Amino acid sequence: MEYRQISTLSHVVMWLLLSHTCYGTESDVMCLRKIKKSLKDPIGYLASSWNFSNIVEGSICTFSGVECWHPDENKVLNLRLSNMGLEGQFPSGLENCTSMTGLDLSNNNLSGLIPADICTRRIHYVTTLDLSSNHFSGGIPLDMGNCSYLNALSLQHNQLNGSIPQTLSQLSRLRSLNVAYNSLTGLIPILNPNISANFTNNRVRYMQLIFWSNSFPLIWPLFVSKQFHASLRRKSVFCGVVSSYFD
């Protein structure tokens, strides 16, 4: 319930912001054209639905997987392209969907790297991003920390490696993170204490602080609570790191 309220509030805020900064229509049509051109569509979902021969206001809102802010306006709110058998790399043209807040490419056959500029250039305003159950490889980009409106990030069941970027600690709105079933390693960044996170089947570990209280060693995860951070500042002691693996 809390997540739904946060998501709804985020959409209202985004609408107020984007309604003054984005003109949509031509740029959103260009966005969808580029996406269609950049992806292989063996099952034909896009081929049968995304018809650009007679574009009028609201026509792209009838395309499969496209949700608009208003049914009579060519301004994309969400792209839900899951389970379409799409192939290729991360689609191009998304930067032209300037008012999009949700992107779901899950359960396809996409591969290659997640773009290094995914947030600063391509999908800066998204609140939900789902790339799960594909074949994406390489690392999670540092730039992911610049998706400052992100509430939910799903990257599970890919072939991602390297560490989880510390820049994710910048995402104060993030409430759900799933990176399970990849090949990630290293320390888990300091995340929002209220986050729901899944790190299953990776070689990642929590970073924990060891500090002393009355000569007795205590071990705490770094992000257990705001109260802990406050008490830690008062004690001003830092002694080491303890690892907890998620195999």
Hey, which CATH number is domain 2-204, 3.10.250.10, 3.80.10.10, 3.30.70.60, 1.10.357.20?
Answer: 3.80.10.10
pLDDT at 14: 53
pLDDT at 197: 94
pLDDT at 21: 40
Q: Where are the domains of the chain?
A: 2-204, 207-247
The residue whose two tokens read 């998620």 is: 246
The Cα 117–Cα 123 span in angstroms is 9
pLDDT at 233: 33
The residue whose two tokens read 């396809």 is: 108
Write out the two tokens for 228.
């802990």
The Cα 38–Cα 36 span in angstroms is 6
pLDDT at 228: 31
The Cα 59–Cα 117 span in angstroms is 30
In three-state secondary structure terms, 21 is helix
Residue 220, H or E segment: strand 216-221
Which value, to the nearest 10 degrees, does the dihedral of the CA atoms of residues 61, 65, 68, 71 take?
40
In three-state secondary structure terms, 41 is coil
One-letter amino acid of 239:
C
pLDDT at 34: 97
pLDDT at 5: 54
The Cα 235–Cα 88 span in angstroms is 53
Write out the two tokens for 50.
């995304």
The residue whose two tokens read 């959103």 is: 28
Produce one character per residue of 158-175: b if its CB has 16 or more CB atoms within 10 Å, e if not: bebeeebbebbbebeebb
The Cα 203–Cα 154 span in angstroms is 18
pLDDT at 54: 85
Full-model pTM: 0.78
Cross-strand pairs, 197: 177
- Residues 6 or more apart whose CB falls under 8 angstroms from that of 224 comprise 193
Residue 12, H or E segment: helix 2-21
The Cα 33–Cα 25 span in angstroms is 12
Q: What string of pLDDT tens digits covers the 247 residues of the chain?
A: 555 555 555 555 554 444 444 444 789 999 999 999 999 999 999 999 999 998 999 999 999 999 999 999 999 999 999 999 999 999 999 999 999 999 999 999 999 999 999 999 999 999 999 999 999 999 999 999 999 999 999 999 999 999 999 999 999 999 999 999 999 999 999 888 889 999 999 999 876 544 444 544 444 444 433 333 323 333 333 333 334 445 5
Cα Rg of the chain (Å, integer): 20
